[in-house]
Structure 1
Amino acid sequence: MTPRLTESAAHSDRVVDAGQRQFVFINDGRLQEMPTVRNLLRFLVPVRSHAPSHETLERFLADEELYALPVVDANDRPLALVDRRKFIEFFSKPYSREIFGRRSIVDLLQHAEYQSTAPVIVEDSCSVEDVAQIIITAGMQHMVTGFIVSSAGRYLGVANGHDLLNVITQRKQSELYYLAHYDHLTGIPNRVLLADRLDQACRDSQRKGTLAALLFVDVDRFKQINDSLGHSVGDAVLRVVVERLKKSARRNDTLARLGGDEFVILMEDLEDAADVDRVAQRLLDSMRERIELFGHSLVVTVSVGAALYPVDDTALSPLLAKADAAMYEAKSAGRNRFCRYSKATAMYNPARMSLENDLRRAIESNELVLFFQPQVELASHELRGVEALVRWQHPERGLVSPVHFIPVAEESGLIVPLGNWVLRESLRQLREWNQQGLPPLRMSINISALQFRQGDLPRYLAEQLTAFAVDPQQVELELTESVLMNDVEGVLRTLQEIKSLGVSLAIDDFGTGYSSLSYLRRFPIDRLKIDQSFVRDIEQTPANESIARAIVALADSLSLGIVAEGIEKRSEKAILQHMRCAEGQGYLFAKPLPADDIVAWIGHHLQSQGRPAFPAAAPVPALSC
């Protein structure tokens, strides 16, 4: 789910509203937000120091959402933060209400029978980073109870530790959002953000009765520049080209980089198709001036193709393909020119492979393969499970990374048959390992949002579990946070159906999406996976350490399992182990391996722990399903 973008009067500033979080784009396209402790503030009517204890108890019993209550003196100076769990547990003891119920809250907190903890009290001028460090030092139990915020020593309100987690992660999320939606070389939108804006532009066009246009721009003979002058010169040329494209486009147009030397300009709210021709001509004219770089004087030209919505197509992917075809027509006609799509434009591009058609064939022809990455217990190094990861063994390209074909699968809808293949093959492999005598393993399988929303996932999963006679307790489905954000009641029903099969559920890449305490408490989730972006260089990045600690504390407070992804260094493992993160996976233990290699790895791993290797592989009868 991509956050909706709304443009302000200033072209360079855009506000992104992601749920309750707001970020502001600055001129270079990067996201920036400035959280303060006041952003976390929740005013709760405090408990007066002279108030009888039973009144506090009644407030807790009346509102189960209260984690803690602040206590203040007659001058509104904070004295304590009453922990809900400790307080209710104390009053559940025999005679506690009779003996202590009428005593003042301060008397109770000072009594030896009640073990009170000194509250964390911070001034409203304190930075979020400082507060995070204070809580880490004071003890992670404050992630649950929270802390008191004061101003000039007087009570202002309380801040919840889980909200602190959200605010701490905002900076990291802004970086992740930027990486996911903007091109790192040029700072302009990438294919993902272009798709979001194109979808919105077409909706607006349909509502207003106007036109939208895509201009597909390709730099002529760019490969020669890279090959002869080097990639550093090539990158510098692309940055200059981007600046010229920006100046040639209209103020409200979106310029995006698709990759390599390919760019797209999205023109919205067009009344006259002739505007497309005028902008295209400005693009061509802007390239006439030589580019002077590193002692080289270069003449760089571009070929431009255009397609109009809804004239040429009303579907987004074909519209982009038609603009691409028109660009290729311009190249075929001699480069450095502009062509608009027409019915006579050849849609077949011999220079480009149709990845979608190849992927469709790959699923049917069994060109896909599974790799597996171990998940180990950090304290004991015992193997707990593996995560199944799909790869594509292309007959011509070799092993294709999912980075290249998963987006195509999602856009085309092939992610559903692809996901079903992964689920089926993972269970088949698990059955084979069980018959070989491998130690019982948890098989973690990723489920895409589209696959989850198809509605028949529980039925299909049940069929495959039966077909392969696999113990459901060995199976874990990994979902991203975005899966849980729409149609909450429908999602809850599907999750409950899956849980009824005995399968466990995990949230993948936790902290990078729309982390919410409410859905963690409501949905039957078993484990959280700390995203690798929070693990990388954790020993040198205080924000990453704060986020990881907060997630571990959150999981602990909700009795959830926890595993950290992307552990590559011993120092990262040591820090995660010290903060009581239970499990981890990453290159420090093993990279993703094919089935035969992971079996060998497991055997070697068992021997390194002084444990007997598993029995020799037994023949596995074929299954039909």
Structure 2
Amino acid sequence: MKGNHGEGIGLKPYILLIILILATFSYTNILIVRTIRSHYYQILDKQSAQYAESYAHSMSKAAQAAEVINELLEDKLLSATKTIALYEREIAEAALAELADSLDLDDIYYYNETGEIVNSNKGHYLGWQAYPGHPVHDFLTSDAALLVEDIRADTESGELNKYAYIKLNGGFVQIGIKAARVDPLLQAFHPEQLLLEIAAGKPVEAVCYLDSDFVIRASSNPELIGTRINAEEKVSRALLAEQIYSSIYNLEGRDVYQVYIPVPTTGAETGTLVIAQSLEETERLATGAARLGTTALIIVFAALLYTLYLTYRKKKDLLNIAYFHSLTKLPNRRYLENVLKADLAEQSSEKKALLLIHCRNLGTINHVHGFHYGDKIIREIAKKLQDRFKASHALFHFSANRFALYVRDYQTREELAELAAEIITALDGVLYPRGLEQQITTRVGIVVIQGSYADPGEIFTHASLALVYAQGEGSTYNFFSPDMQTKLLRENLIARELAVFLAAPPADSKLLHLEYQPIVDLKTERITAFEALARMHSPQLGSVFPLEFIGIAERQQLIVPLGAWVLETAARFLKKLHSQGHGDIEVSVNVSALELFQRGFPERVQNIVEKHNISPKMLQLEITESVMFHNFEDINQILGRLRDLGIKIALDDFGTGYSSFSRLGELNVDVIKIDKHFVDKITAKDSHKQVFAELIAMSHKLDLEVVAEGVEKQEQREYLKAHRCDLMQGYLFSRPLKEEAALNMLEESGVSA
């Protein structure tokens, strides 16, 4: 089948939407991970800034502490020098040792005017001469009378000392206190100690303090002190602008987060604190948060996908409901309509045709065998058609009991006729094994789709018309022709007139009336019964043949009210017969299968009998042999109830193919009416005469009365009489008569047939 014509759901929009959602999901996930990492990096920046602030504060305190201690040392040295000046004349080794102990000094050296050590508290360096460039020589040659130096290394011992000098008459004195004595006080404020405290107990890999030349002046790792760092240009620009700069740096195979923070120290000098923090904990937290966020996004994404899936399934289900038959899963009428619209719009030269397949009486199968069985038959019919034709043609389930075969690129009408015959044969394969071939009849209506069609609805109408006329003409298939529309208008007019009449039958209407054909006893040659036959005379169309208007009544669901009117009218005629002294004359009325299957039909017949006060024994109901196709047991039960009321039952058209004598004995009937088809063969010189004679004999053995229908020749009557047929009916004796003519004939009942 070419194209979907909108009957399927395209996956492309859903795939694009899923890709869009997946891209959004991925981008959102990446964004969340980056945001989480950025958040933790900001935390590291803040921590580093706090460390730097703490370090700067500690360095400031250290400077203040060192300044205070230095001032105390200077005060002590000044005080000591002044005290020593009081002992200027007692500068001897023993006196110097006592002074050193009493003044808590480590060294006292007495120099002569030339700068030579002539005495010391420990007797060290006696005779040592100060040389130019030495701090001692610088004091000697200066104009200062008193000097306190900063802590420096002793040029001879290398030890750190803080020295003070005072000039005396004939020389000067140098006193000193070892720096090691104040180290414990300054150790807590030492830069390395401060950096170690920053690194202790924290996820800090290393802390360094850089001077303005990017030389490490202090570090938690002493081995790095004195090392110059080659800072990148962007780091330098950030630090010059007194901004924090951070980056991820690989340290010994591990990623660390390195932060450069400008740190003001003493005076106008600004150094840089570099803090390298481990990313293990940060990565663990960031990964955990990212996983949590990813999990949440996955849940949302899964929910969206599930929602999309439900939407897709719902749309697919709705489209299946709209475009596919629920029972057979075949494309339905709407699907076919879209296919035809698309093909008609193309206006191609390709030959196309539609074959509408109607399986008649499927509804009866449902009523008799149940809907489950009826559905099973429909599915098997659909499968049979699919197996046979789907590979070459497009098959549709058009309606409950109709299928459609859309044919493209055929060559001739004969090819379509052969295809219709194939369809009938294929369906026989379903019906024959179940004995349904007589109950379900298959017809095919064929429409050749030419350029004049613009609307699929018109094609469907014409296909239905072809079906109607195929059924009416007894053919298995029929091609649509324009004159069918004229016939349709005629049928609609007849159906409308029947419907109006039967809705409220007027007493004086001439539209419908009954005629009565006499049934004659072959022995006495007298009338024993009349068969009531409906006749129609349309005001617009004139006389309408019974086969036509009865067929229309069946198709238009008017057969039940029509049958009720016939029975009611025949009962009135029977009442009139009895009232005029013809109480031994029966009236026979034809009853359709639909009437028999109407709930309470026997009761309605009983009501009519009682209403008109007629003898039920004089009322005879005729059923056609084909009625038994529907359901033998159910029909036989209904017939039994009617016989229990006293009503006679006649089996009409006997011999047309269903009944057998083996079942006939079980059937609740009183009369057999042999079909005209057999009567016509009496005059033929073949074996049919013998068959007819045996048919009469077998019926008598079953205690059944035999009526021969359609007797038109004297030879036929003689044969029937010779073979003991009970009754005859036909044009040889009389055509159907209007009511008044029938009564007049009875008045002349002494006239022989």
Provide TM-score, normalisation by structure 1. 0.47
Q: Which has the larger radius of gyration?
A: 2
- Structure number with higher relative contact order (C-alpha < 8 Å, ≥ 6 residues apart): 1
When normalised by structure 2's length, the TM-score is 0.39
